[in-house]
A and B are shown apart, each in its own frame.
Chain A
Amino acid sequence: MTFEQILTDITAVLGAIGVISTVLAHLPLPAKYAQFFARLATYAANTKFSVNQRDTLPKKDDEPKLPPFFPGGAAVLLAIGFAFHAQGCRPSKPPCDQTKLAAVVAVCTAKSQECVNEGKSEAECEALAQCDTKIAQACSGDANK
């Protein structure tokens, strides 16, 4: 890899950083971050290493070439995808705590049976309301609190 190639690559990377920073600067982040990214974008956009690398190097037609928008285009796609993912997806609650749920069901079924043995109806069995609350707690995602 020649010195000119390195400079060209650095320019390309700075361009990509500029694009990402521009996207980040428009996200609803705290003001100091937005300002930082905006400054970084301006810096990256203004920094250029002008070298005529393509004219000086011998052309190799058989070498696979990346599309002209790479890595800027890929960086934009990544940044947009990441921004949408971060904004669109929220971590879901964990599933029910199976151990706690099984324990609640076991205890509550026994209480329910007691109510039946005492001749109480479903509406009269006060333990059921408490059991419903305990079931909801076991499945609320903060069961281990």
Chain B
Amino acid sequence: MTELFEKLAKRPELVPAVTKIVEAFLAHEDPLLEAERQAEIIAAKALIRAPFKEPT
């Protein structure tokens, strides 16, 4: 748990995704499925921002 908080402190942009996963768990939904969904969302957002990261 401490490790998770340390990782989240370094990557605060992941906090909403982790919150969604915990919410899914508390709502008796499948947390793994929610984690997969959040991973896809994060990957898609990173992909559309890739042109800004590339050296011009």
Question: Which residues of A line the B interface, CB within 8 A?
Answer: 88-93, 95-96, 101, 104-105, 108-109, 111-113, 115-116, 121-122, 125, 128, 131-132, 135-136, 138-139
Question: Which residues of B line the A interface, CB within 8 A?
Answer: 24, 27-30, 33-34, 36-37, 40-41, 44-45, 47-52, 54, 56
> CB within 8 A of A112: which of B24, B30, B52, B56?
B52
Q: Which residues of B contact A96 (CB under 8 A)?
A: 37, 40-41
B34 CB → nearest A CB, Å: 7
A81 CB → nearest B CB, Å: 16
Is the CB–CB distance between B41 and A112 below 8 Å? no
> CB within 8 A of A101: which of B24, B33, B40, B54?
B40
Is the CB–CB distance between A90 and B44 below 8 Å? no
Contacts A105-B47, A112-B51, A131-B48: A139 and B40 contacting too (C-beta < 8 A)? yes
Q: Which residues of B contact A104 (CB under 8 A)?
A: 44
Is the CB–CB distance between A116 and B51 below 8 Å? yes
Q: CA–CA, A139 to B29, complex, Å?
A: 15
> CB within 8 A of B51: which of A105, A109, A135, A136?
A109
Is the CB–CB distance between B52 and A116 below 8 Å? yes
Can you show 8 pairs from A to B with CB atoms below 8 A apart?
A92-B24, A92-B33, A92-B34, A104-B44, A105-B48, A132-B45, A135-B45, A135-B48
Q: Which residues of A contact B50 (CB under 8 A)?
A: 109, 112
What 6 A-B pairs are tightest by C-beta distance, nearest first? A108-B48, A92-B30, A92-B29, A113-B51, A116-B51, A112-B51
